[in-house]
Structure formats: C-alpha cells, structure tokens
Structure 1
C-alpha cells in the first residue's frame, strides 16, 4: 500500500527545524568545555550559558572537573536525534518516503525519553544539581525549558504514532480483504 503525498503537520516540521540549531549550540557548549566556560576563550559564543553553568550542575565546571560523562553522552544523543529530525524532514518533504513517520516518531521518542531520564536522574539524586535553586530560578531556568522538551516531543510521538497506526490498520484491512 503506497501512501501518496503525505506531509507532516507544519508544526512538527517547524519544531524539528527550529530546534536543530539550538541543540547544536547546546551540544557544542558541552563538547568545547572548558573553552566554552565563563572565562574561556570561546565563551563569547555561549554567553547565556553563564547562567546555566551556575544553575544546573550538568553544565558546571565542577561536573567537567569531576569527569561527569553525562553532559557529553547526552550531547552526543542530542546530535543523533537532530540528525534523525532533519532526516525525517528530508524524507517526508523531499523524498516522500512512506516510512518517514517512523523516523520522526523514533527521533521524538528519543528526545522525550532522554529528557525524562535527565529529570529522573535529578529526582533520584535528591535534586543534587538543582536543589539549591529558588522557586523562580527553578521555574524559569529548569522547569519551563525542560517542559518544552517533554510536551512537544510527546505531541509529536502521539501525532506520528497515530499516522503509523493508521497505515498499519489500513494495510491489515487490505490484506484481510485480499484473503477473503
């Protein structure tokens, strides 16, 4: 069964395209440590990270000094997710590949899972990275930004999951009719 001229919702494409440079910027901050830290020769590229290196332990010089591998491991996963996001956009809008929704679904599920892991890690270490924050900073610099990385990928997973399920049901119906 061929799916002809399927296009993803514009908001899904927009999310994947708009988040790509943000993720690249974030990942390169982690990969370029200590040069990206406040006081480093390349810090001017990541100036706003002065806030995060003092708010979230994961981005801190202390985590780097302690050889905490999580920031770079997460950054590598971010780059893989972003490559899949951009591949999804290409496969769905340029190549018109019928299985493109599966790539987008997998990528969004990776983003969602990784973000939930990030938050669960914080929960299970008794808020070791952010426990010192006041409520305003916690909401502004942790809950809201991370919330976007949970809510939007969840919506993408739901949307593309429905598309995939619909195609599977349609194919099953066609095959069942052929057998009858």
Structure 2
C-alpha cells in the first residue's frame, strides 16, 4: 500500500506566496539613478574668499586684547585700523574692555566656529569639485584661484552633501549672530554706537556690518533652495532591519 508523504504544514496559497515574496524582494527600478550633485554659487565662494580673512583678522584683534589695542605691543601695524573703529563702536574699544563686557569675545568665538565651517566648505569645493564641461568653442578653466571663484563646477555625492549642510549651518549662525549684534544695540539704547554722527554711523558701522546680513541671507536662500530641491526629489529611504519571523 502506497502512503502519501506527510507535510509539516500546508502549502501557502498563491496569493499569500506572492505577498510574502513582495515583502522579501527588494524593489527594482528601471534606468540608472542620477547621482546627486551640489553646484556652488559663484557669489557664495567670492563672498567667503573675501570675508573669511577679515573675520580671522577681527578674531585676532578681539582674542589678543589688550595687546592688539592702541598702545599694545601688537597693535601696529596689523590692527591699526581698530584705533578708529574702537571709537566708533565701543564694543571693540576700551569702554567695553574696561567694563569686562564679555559679549565681544563670546561672539568672536562663534565667529571662529563659523569660519572653520566656511574654510571646510571652500576646501571641499576646491579639492573635490569637478569642472562642468564647457560648451563647444569654450576654453576649459583649470583648477586654481580663478576657477574657485568663477568656474562652473559641481561637488557630488555624500561629500558635497556634507559640505552643503556645513555651509548652510554656518550661514544661519552668521546671520543670527549679526542680527543679535544689532538687536543688542537697539535694546541697550545704542549704548555703544549712539555717540556717532549720522555720516560716521552709516559709513563705519551700518554699511560694514550690514554686509554680514545681506550675504549670509543670500547664502541661506541659495543653499536652502538646493537642500529643498534635493528633499523634494529624494526617494524614501528603506529601513534595514531583521526580517520578521513568520
């Protein structure tokens, strides 16, 4: 007598088997996925190349006080212009220093953090940036200082994404801190700059400090648009974990 083999469990139905196969099989895509790239703005790189040395110079003056101040052994010739600026903005002059006002040094420490982020961004762009192929009849610009400022270039992959986030974060810090600097004057009754006449205030305080509002604001807009565009076009990230036991 022939007996049938005993199965430990019933065969799943075709519908159930198809569902289980869909859960365990990775999704397939058609075509080749495009690699993400970040395109640095020429205005952004020009501003950073111009502003980073100024911020380093400014930080040196603040952190080396009183030696960098008028009468100090390090004052001339490197920080000689601060002899005038210290009389325009007392936060940089003797009144704030003698009063042990900590705001000057505190905001300078944040300046250093921002500057390190900007230097990292510029280094990534220069080190990992790839030149966009020029059109027919155009001459390809080789890597160098002029290429960093004006060349058409992209930084791809995770390296470019990290540089983008660092530059965006540093720009938000710069704008926020500069606005805080202005608001501090407003709510203190213009304690440090209220003694100036209108012309001196506009030429020596409002215009120079206003640049650190205009350009970081522009950088936030450009870099934020790049981040937003990437998020809108990104596909959902698959969660990797242990398969569920049946």
Q: Quick check: TM above 0.5?
A: yes
> Counterpart in 1 of 2:160?
98
Is residue 2:193 matched to residue 1:130?
yes
Is residue 2:122 matched to residue 1:89?
yes
Give the C-alpha shift of residue 60 in structure 1.
1.0
Aligned to 2:184, which of 98, 121, 125? 121
Provide the secondary structure at the position in 1 that maps to 2:191.
coil
Give the C-alpha shift of residue 65 in structure 1.
1.3
Is residue 2:46 matched to residue 1:14?
yes
- Greater Rg, structure 1 or structure 2? 2
Give the 4+ runs in structure 1 shifted more than 2 A. 90-96
The count of residues paired between Structure 1 and Structure 2 equals: 173
Aligned to 2:75, which of 43, 47, 50? 43
Give the C-alpha shift of residue 62 in structure 1.
1.7
Distance in 2, matches of 1:90 and 1:43, equals 31
Which stretch of the first structure deviates more once superposed, 90-99 or 37-46? 90-99
> Counterpart in 2 of 1:27?
59
RMSD over aligned Cα atoms: 1.5
Whether the 8 Å CA contact 1:38–1:47 is kept in 2: the answer is yes
Provide the secondary structure at the position in 2 that maps to 1:46.
coil
> Counterpart in 2 of 1:147?
210
Distance in 2, matches of 1:75 and 1:58, equals 12
- For structure 1, the 5+ residue unaligned runs are none
> Counterpart in 2 of 1:63?
96
Distance in 1, matches of 2:112 and 2:227, equals 24
TM-score by length of 2: 0.67
Distance in 1, matches of 2:48 and 2:97, equals 29
Distance in 2, matches of 1:93 and 1:9, equals 13
Residues 142-168 of structure 1 deviation map (CA, whole Å, 9 limit, x = unaligned): 100011000000000000000000000
Superposition map of 1:72-83 within 5 A: 72-83=105-116
Give the C-alpha shift of residue 54 in structure 1.
0.6
Distance in 2, matches of 1:149 and 1:170, equals 32
TM-score by length of 1: 0.91
Provide the secondary structure at the position in 1 that maps to 2:109.
helix
- For structure 2, the 5+ residue unaligned runs are 1-33, 129-154, 238-246
Q: Which structure dedicates a bigger proportion of its chain to helix?
A: 1
